[in-house]
Amino acid sequence: MKMTFRWYGSKTDPIPLKFIKQIPGMTGLMGLLDKPAGVDWPEEEFAALRKEVQEAGLELEVIESVNVHEDIKTGLPARDEYIENYISTVRMLARQGVKVIVYNFMPVFDWLRTDLARVIPEDGSNSLYFDEKDLGAMGPLEIVRKTAEDSHGFTLPGWEPERLALLETTLKQYEGMTGDDLRKNYKYFLDAVIPVCEEVGVRMACHPDDPAWPIFGLPRIAHSQEDFDKIVALHDSPANTLCLCTGSLGSNPDNDIPSIIRHFGSMNRIGAMHVRNVKYLGYHHFREAAHLSSTGDLDLYEIMKAVHETCPDTYIRPDHGRMIWDEQGRPGYGLYDRALGAAYLNGLWEALEKGSC
Ligand SMILES: [Mn+2]
């Protein structure tokens, strides 16, 4: 297991690399480069980022932001050009030492919350929160506007301004599209990209829908074990994997996370993991919790045990944290609670390692 940390780059992330390096056991980043979907990433820019990260004593083997253009998902003629750019970026990242690319195939919405800073009454910290009832009155455009207003000036992943400007047009393109239609376009993408990944030694890792159910009538095809069975079968290869996000899949209590990890871990189809906890508050209603099992509804010991047994070499990062100790920062991506999460997960791992000898 390699413990990593999400970092947005020195221009927009208030957390210095030095602080990340000081978290015990931190080996590297799940990094990002701020590029719109569809572009061919410039190698010099990525090489500069890699140099900066390596000089801080950290690795950059996982990249999270090679976004798939909506024209690929909707199967428009321009997709071939965007796929060519994607392939060129995969080759470049492989040259630069990247091993895993985390991405998603979600229509329009990357992830969705109805409150980015809901106060947790027990201790006064706050975290990301979702209640489907609050969506009732809001349409997609309103929720996007609200999310932008609540994000304290930060750009949230998946909600980049240039993408949102086209929201209405994009939503129209999905009208009438079924899950099977979307999977057909997904297969077209994987058939082009996965052989290149095999050639250059990179694994694609698909992130689940978050929350793990359909929203706004859009086709969503990545929120259960059954969904991912279909995805890995679209192009059967060790390079076609999932990024198993416990909090995203775990937003639906029907998903048995340790069992899903064992299923895909033993198939060698887990390329990376996001690990965090969720507190259920009702039907389609939850908030994000501290990582410690007893503070939420997921069993983090069972989760790490399933990783230890079936995919012990995977990359892991503590996922969203709460905002604690009056930290001001990007919702979900503060330093303190994610650092506590990493320390806790490392502790569970040490116990599993020693317990299995
Ligand atoms: Mn995640």
Instruction: Single out the residue of 273, 206, 211, 274 nearest to residue 240, CA to CA.
Output: 206
Catalytic, 181? Answer no
Enter the tokens of residue 273. Answer: 């993991």
Give residue 154's pLDDT: 53
Pair type for strands 100-103 and 270-275: unpaired
Q: Is the pLDDT of residue 160 over 70?
A: no
Q: Distance from the CA of 248 to the center of ligand 1, in angstroms? A: 6
Residues 59-82 as b/e (b if ≥16 CB within 10 A, e otherwise) read: bbbbbbbbbbbbbbbbbeeebeeb
- The pLDDT value recorded for residue 216 is 83
Residue 297, pLDDT > 90, answer yes
Is 319 labeled as catalytic in the residue annotation?
yes
What would the mean pLDDT of 50-59 be, rounded to a whole number? 98
Selecting among 315, 320, 336, 344, the annotated active-site residue is 320
Q: Is the pLDDT of residue 296 over 60?
A: yes
The alpha carbon of 319 and the centre of ligand 1 are apart by a number of angstroms equal to 6
pLDDT score at 135: 79
- CA 74 to centroid of ligand 1, rounded, Å: 23
Amino acid at 99: K
Q: Which domain holds residue 125?
A: 2-355
Question: Which of the residues 186, 245, 336, 344 is marked catalytic?
Answer: 245
**pLDDT interval class at 166 (50, 70, 90):** confident
Q: What is the mean pLDDT of the chain?
A: 93
Q: Could you count the other beta carbons within 10 Å of the beta carbon of residue 134?
A: 15
* Predicted local confidence at residue 109, as pLDDT: 78
Q: What is the pLDDT of residues 230-261, one digit of tens each?
A: 999 999 999 999 999 999 999 999 999 999 99
Structure tokens at 206: 């698909």
How many distinct structural domains can be found in the chain?
Answer: 1
How much is the average pLDDT of 66-80? 95
The three-class DSSP label of residue 124 is: coil
* Radius of gyration of the chain from its Cα atoms, rounded to whole angstroms: 19
357: CA distance to ligand 1 center in Å?
A: 31
Q: Is 254 one of the catalytic residues?
A: no
The CATH number for 177's domain is 3.20.20.150
User: Which residue among 319, 336, 337, 344 is the active-site one?
Assistant: 319
DSSP label of 295: G
**Hey, is 8 helix, strand or coil?**
coil
Q: According to DSSP H, which parts of the chain are helical?
A: 17-21, 43-55, 70-74, 79-95, 132-135, 140-150, 161-164, 167-173, 179-200, 225-234, 246-249, 257-266, 300-310, 336-355
CA of 79 relative to ligand 1 center, distance in Å:
26
Q: Pick the residue with more confidence: 218 or 195?
A: 195
From ligand 1's centre to the CA of 276, what distance in Å? 8
Q: What is the pLDDT of residue 159?
A: 63
| Ligand 1 center–CA 252 separation, angstroms | 14
Q: Of 352, 337, 258, 245, which is closest to residue 291 (Cα–Cα)?
A: 337
Identify the active-site residue in 223, 274, 291, 308: 274
**Placement of tokens 């259920």 in the chain:** 280
Indicate which residue of 69, 207, 223, 235 is catalytic. Answer: 207
Could you tell me the pLDDT band of residue 65, with boundaries at 50, 70 and 90?
A: confident
**Active-site position among 129, 333, 336, 344:** 333
Tell me how far the alpha carbon of residue 129 lies from the centroid of ligand 1, in angstroms. Answer: 14
- How far apart (Å, rounded) are the C-alpha atoms in residues 286 and 280? 5
Query: In this predicted model, what pLDDT tens digit does every residue of 94-153 receive, in sequence order?
Result: 999 999 999 999 988 778 888 888 999 999 999 999 998 887 777 777 777 777 777 665
What is the average per-residue pLDDT within 195-213?
97
Nearest residue to 114 (alpha-carbon basis) of 81, 83, 136, 90: 136
Residue 208 Cα, ligand 1 centroid: separation in angstroms?
8
Highest mean pLDDT among 41-50, 111-120, 141-150, 166-175: 41-50
Q: At what angle do helices 179-200 and 225-234 cross, to 10 degrees?
A: 60
DSSP one-letter code for 217: T
Peptide bond into 211 cis (omega under 30): yes
Q: Which two tokens stand for residue 149?
A: 């207003």
pLDDT value, residue 281: 96
Question: What pLDDT sits at residue 307?
Answer: 98
pLDDT at position 161: 66
Mutual angle of helices 336-355 and 300-310, in 10-degree steps: 60
For 122, other C-beta atoms within 10 Å of its C-beta total: 7
Query: Strands of 115-119's sheet, edge to edge?
Result: 115-119, 126-131, 285-289, 277-282
Q: What pLDDT was estimated at residue 156?
A: 54
Confidence of residue 158 (pLDDT cuts 50, 70, 90): low
Measured in Å, residue 10 CA sits from the centre of ligand 1 at 21
Q: Which amino acid is at 290?
A: A
> Which string of DSSP letters, residue by residue, matches 52-98?
HHHHTT-EEEEE---PPPHHHHHT-TTHHHHHHHHHHHHHHHHHTT-
DSSP string, 153-204: TPPPTT--HHHHTTHHHHHHHTTT--HHHHHHHHHHHHHHHHHHHHHHT-EE
Can 245 be counted among the known catalytic residues?
Answer: yes
Determine the average pLDDT of the residues in 18-47. 95
